[in-house]
Amino acid sequence: MELHQLRYFVTLAETGNFSRAARQCGIAQPSLSQQIRRLEDSFGTPLFDRLGRSIALTEAGEALLPRARRILGEVNDAAQEIRAEPARRELRLGAIPTMAPYLLPPLLKRFRRERPECELTVREDLTARLVAAVIDCELDCAIMSAPVDDPLIELEVIATEPLLAALPRDFPLPQPRRLCMNDLRDQPTVVLHEMHCLGRQIEDFCSQSRLQRRIVCRGTQLMTILELVALGLGVSIVPEMCAKADRSKSRRYVPITGSRPEREIAIAWRRGRTRPRPARTFADLLRATF
């Protein structure tokens, strides 16, 4: 038994004539007759008595008719509900710690204005654990940095962000007031721990630039790094979004000229999974931000 056969059955029962039913269903009369025969074969009993040019429901047909109408009604209701925007949905979002405090608050504020009915679940965690959560469908998507080497992850790069030198206020800048990697050579340095992907990216960049650093502290929080810079303990390299959020006058941020360090801002999706509407809305807001 197939759904279209039930539709033909109900139409035939309501019109009482094969020709009228075929026209209403938009098919040829022989095709309609054939489908009704197949439906009857699937039940193992006739559903109509053929009475010349007219038809009449058998007892089996009369028993089937209200059930067929109910089934078709349920299918129609389900189709309308699926096509319509759900009344309540959930966004399960992840973000790495070096992006979450700077990107999420303004984005989620805008998201709540656009989708007030949507329930939010936010997880701030390291890249590897967020990747696992996206793969396991515990999260709809996650904000992180490229690259991510996993065949089950589809990484959509949204923007590229420069990394800046974070300096104590009294750090002597060369003239003109620009900084290159060589100006940081042998400076006491406060670094972000390599448990963070940003820490590894900065370490790789310094290695490529053959920058010798005198590391005096490794921290796991960017805010701790900045406070140590303000105390004059050392210099550091931080993302631009971190610098923009800093209202303190005890630090300064300077672009690094030459081979400018940068990182990519991306959304991680589970490859092959249909993207939920709330997650698509959030992704649109993130793209608009940049």
Q: What is the mean pLDDT of residues 126-155?
A: 94
Residue 167 pLDDT class (50, 70, 90 cuts): very high
Whole-number pLDDT of residue 185: 84
pLDDT score, position 176: 64
Per-residue pLDDT band at 172 (split at 50, 70, 90): confident
pLDDT of residue 250: 92
* CB half-sphere exposure, 163, CA atoms < 13 A: 25
| Separation CA 211–CA 234 (nearest Å) | 15
Q: Give the homologous superfamily in CATH for domain 159-263.
A: Periplasmic binding protein-like II (3.40.190.10)
Which residues lie below 8 Å from residue 248, measured CB to CB, with a gap of 6+? 226, 230
Higher pLDDT, 209 or 56: 56
Check whether 43 has a pLDDT greater than 60.
yes
Q: Is the peptide bond before 147 cis (omega within 30 degrees of 0)?
A: yes
Give the pLDDT mean for 275-280. Answer: 91
182 closest CA partner among 136, 137, 213: 213
Please tell me the pTM assigned to this model.
0.71
pLDDT at residue 212, as a whole number: 78
Q: What is the mean pLDDT of residues 213-217?
A: 88
Q: What is the pLDDT of residue 80?
A: 79
What percent of the chain shows pLDDT beyond 70? 97
Looking at residue 84, what is its pLDDT? 67
Average pLDDT estimate for 267-287: 93
| 177 confidence band (pLDDT: 50, 70, 90) | low
Judge if 91-158+264-289 and 159-263 fold alike in CATH terms: yes
Specify the CATH number of the domain 91-158+264-289: 3.40.190.10
- SS3 letters for the chain? CCHHHHHHHHHHHHHCCHHHHHHHHCCCHHHHHHHHHHHHHHHCCCCEEEECCEEEECHHHHHHHHHHHHHHHHHHHHHHHHHCCCCCCEEEEEECCCCHHHHHHHHHHHHHHHCCCCEEEEEECCHHHHHHHHHCCCCCEEEEECCCCCCCEEEEEEEEEEEEEEEECCCCCCCCCCECHHHHCCCEEEEECCCCHHHHHHHHHHHHCCCCCEEEEEECCHHHHHHHHHCCCCEEEEEHHHHHHCCCCCEEEEEECCCCCEEEEEEEEECCCCCCHHHHHHHHHHHHHC
Backbone angles phi, psi at 176, to 5 degrees: -65, 170
For residue 286, pLDDT over 90 is answered with yes
* Furthest-apart CA atoms within the chain: distance in Å: 104
Task: Return the higher-pLDDT residue of 94 and 170.
Answer: 94
Domain boundaries, the chain: 3-83, 91-158+264-289, 159-263
Q: Which CATH class is domain 3-83?
A: mainly alpha
pLDDT band at 106 (very low <50, low <70, confident <90, very high): very high
What pLDDT shows up at residue 246?
93
* Residue 175 reports pLDDT greater than 70: no
**pLDDT exceeds cutoff 90 at 290:** no
Least-confidence region, from 8-12, 73-77, 99-103, 150-154: 73-77
Q: Is pLDDT at 86 greater than 60 in this prediction? A: no
Backbone CA torsion sign across 32, 35, 41, 47: negative
